[in-house]
Chain A
Amino acid sequence: MELKIGHLYPDLMNLYGDRGNIIVLTRRCSWHGIKATVEEIRTGEEKRAAECDVVFIGGGQDREQKQVAWDLRDRQGPALRAAAADGVVILGICGGYQLLGHEFRTGTGEVLPGTGILDLVTVGGGKRLIGNIAVASDLLGGKTLVGFENHSGKTYLGEGAKPLGKVLAGYGNNGEDGTEGAYHRNVVGTYLHGSVLPKNPWLADYLLAKAVERRGGTLKLREIDDQLERTAHAAALHQVGLGGKMEN
């Protein structure tokens, strides 16, 4: 089995350790006996994200996010939408998550176009939502996710997207409705940095399993000794006052 991981805009959308997610996806692939190749796709390039099995898009600073928003709309967008409909696994973090929605109305009144893959909109907020966060994930049968959020945009989900989970500690999508992240089919968006996948290996494996399944693979993911990851996850829960309460 071979998986192609597309890293969209690694040069512009790579804030806060987003690279960690790519490291985790490739490492875990090799532990599962899957050969993984990473394809970096930059603005202006003709390489198609849609030819990948997993597409990752990270967060970026305002200026960079603006730059990729237009590239995403005009160049990668249509193919990426088709890919999403075809079941390609897509993970968007923070700024990348926002661009998976319909649009991002920034604090200065500017409107950045999104891909509309997830039914959600983001509006620039005044206060930056910063801090450790823990989420009970609906997608993963209630398993917890831990990370660090740092965003001023507030995201509101429409009918077509389900929240990735409920906020146990922190702010989440908008700090108002108690939701965090969003998913639809195999597309997942979240505000969690940390990086998110290292301390939540079940999310990494969920995404990989979906990618394998889409390729018609029968490969069963191997059990990996995640002792260290679990310890780190537990420590992060403990840090937000949820120590000992959650079991994964």
Chain B
Amino acid sequence: MSVGPRKQPPARGWFRENNVGVTFYHLGGCQTSGVNDGFDWRRFLALCLGKLTQGASRFLGRGGSSFPGRIILWVDPAFIRVMAGKMARGTLVVTGTNGKTTTAKLVASILGAKGWGVCRNGAGANLIGGLAAAFLNAANFWGKVRCQMALLEVDEATVPQATGELQPAAIAVTNFFRDQLDRYGELTNTVELVRRGLREAGPRTVLVLNADDPMVAGLGKGYPGPVLYYGVEEPTLGRREKERDAESPPCPNCGEQLAYTVTYYAHLGNYRCPACGWARPRPEVRLQRLRSEGSRGYALEMGTPQGTIRAKLPVPGFYNVYNALAATALVQICGVEPGLIVRGLEGFAASFGRMERLRVGGTQILLALVKNPVGFNQVLQAVLEDHGPKVILFLINDRYADGTDVSWLWDADLERLEGGAEFAGVIVGGLRAEDMAVRLKYAGWPPEAILMEHKPAQALERAIGLVPPGGIIYVLPTYTALLEIREVLQRRGWARPFWEES
């Protein structure tokens, strides 16, 4: 792969010294010229087959967001590497347990404000086939691309393979929570997978890390390339004491249990190791002030290498504040001006099923994916902050992509809904509706108040029937249930097909 003229990035600490005018140019974006631009029959065949399957798949009403990608890679295993090489401004990768999709969409919104064409896997297809499909979307039959940049969310377990192929300019890591244990084994394995991926990426890749998550921040320790940290520096938003639990991770340096002065949620907070002294790195992009505006979102003030940025974030849920910080940090390395960052954040529309707002007549539907206890708790918190009339619909599936073990429902803090007194109705649906019903019963909901309706379409009907005028239906689906309910909404013309999402 040819490498254009660029400066070698200096070591860590660099962002502190060069706080203005950091441009992407420094950071090893791959260059277009000379990279396999000749006609390649294999690639042509791969693209034809890919586009054909994609067309067929969409005609059948499926998204085709990863299957065509797998076909392409079968015909042309080098496809991702070659296409990534065509991105004039390189590739940005977002990984981590929660917040990948929203962070990527926030970055896209900001880069959109900047006017750059970005190639994305917007529908959340983040395994290797989904990455290939993203490039397939951006390319014509001859393999020419319209985009200058790729912005891809990548599943944690796919990071080693993906970074080797993509040679990204930057990798942002959001957080590590327990998720899908039946797939990846234990959390430490997940962190190791990502660490392995960073070695594949090579030393020119910039790391963008959540300073408040020690498991993430630990990735920066000993990393040879530049590292940019983001985090919350508003202790009044957090809790003082840290309740010890198995998710409070060991020090990445010496293995001792970390001590916290403040936590924001789960194990995100300000920590230090009592044994070896390793502590939370000071973030370059930091939240300084935050004001909640209820279901409309937040007003936030961030300190950045480019100075203070004040913006409205039009989506509720405190975890989205972290996503906004991650996005702001990631675009620092692209040299996006503060005014455009503000425009990008304020023009953000929630991504596919992540606090996505839809309107059906006089009723609002808020779709909020739930896939692990920490994310579930954060969504419940956001629901509780809305004191208006509301109905809640849980759609729980246990297919492979959801995690086949539903035990995690018992780790989510459903008790905080206090038996559902605030709700005009509760419906459980999906393949494991019964499990959710039992969970609610033990969280204090009267069993007779829990309506069970396995099929998403019927469950939604029930919710619409129950919601008071002007109320909100909160739909909390697992991943495959989200795809199903989205399809129902789309068939009725209430939502756009997800592959048309920007």
Please, which residue of chain B has its CB at the minimum distance from the CB of A24?
A: B442
Which of the residues A16, A20, A63 comes within 8 Å of B188, measured between beta carbons? Answer: A63
Instruction: Tell yes or no: A231 within 8 A of B by CB.
Output: yes
Q: Within the assembled complex, what's the spacing in Å between the Cα atoms of A130 and B181?
A: 10
Distance A236 CA – B443 CA, assembled complex (angstroms):
21
What are the residues of chain A within 8 A of B442 when measuring CB–CB? 20, 23-24, 27, 198
Cβ B410 vs Cβ A130 within 8 A: no
B142 at the interface (CB under 8 A from A): no
- Distance in angstroms between the alpha carbons of A235 and B442 in the assembled complex: 18
> Interface SS of chain A: helix, strand, loop or mixed?
mixed
Binds B, one of A7-15, A108-116, A134-142, A158-166: A7-15
- Which of B186, B407, B411, B437 interacts with A148 by CB under 8 Å? B407
Q: What range describes how many residues of A lie at the interface?
A: 35 or more
Interface secondary structure of B, over-half rule:
helix
B250 surroundings in chain A (CB, below 8 A): 63
Q: Scan residues 316-360 of chain B and give those whose CB is less than 8 A from a CB of chain A.
A: none
Cβ-neighbour of B434 out of A11, A14, A17, A232 (below 8 A): A232
Is B407 a contact of A195 with CB atoms below 8 Å? yes
- Interface residues in A171-228 by Cβ distance below 8 A to B read 193-195, 198-199, 225, 227-228
Q: Could you tell me the distance between the alpha carbons of A14 and B439 in the complex, rounded to whole angstroms?
A: 17
Q: Which residue of A lies closest to B414 (CB)?
A: A23
Q: Does the CB pair A16–B245 fall under 8 Å?
A: no
Count B-side interface residues using an 8 Å CB cutoff.
Answer: 30
Is B138 at the interface (CB under 8 A from chain A)?
no
Assuming the A-B contacts A61-B186, A61-B246, A227-B447, are A17 and B438 also in contact, with contact meaning beta carbons closer than 8 angstroms in the complex?
no
Instruction: Answer whether residue A33 sits at the interface, using C-beta atoms and an 8 A cutoff.
Output: no
Given the known inter-chain contacts A17-B410, A61-B188, A228-B450, please indicate yes or no for A148 contacting B404, CB distance below 8 A: yes
* Distance from B490 Cβ to chain A, minimum over Cβ atoms (Å): 28
29 contacting pairs across A/B (C-beta < 8 A): A11-B248, A12-B246, A13-B246, A15-B246, A16-B408, A17-B408, A17-B409, A17-B410, A20-B407, A20-B410, A20-B411, A20-B442, A27-B442, A130-B182, A130-B404, A131-B404, A148-B404, A148-B406, A150-B405, A194-B407, A195-B410, A225-B447, A227-B447, A228-B437, A228-B447, A228-B450, A229-B438, A229-B441, A232-B438
Chain B residues with a Cβ under 8 A of chain A: 181-182, 185-188, 244-246, 248, 250, 404-411, 432, 434-435, 437-439, 441-443, 447, 450
Residues of A in contact with B (beta carbons under 8 Å apart): 10-20, 23-24, 27, 42, 60-64, 128, 130-132, 148, 150, 193-195, 198-199, 225, 227-229, 231-232, 235-236
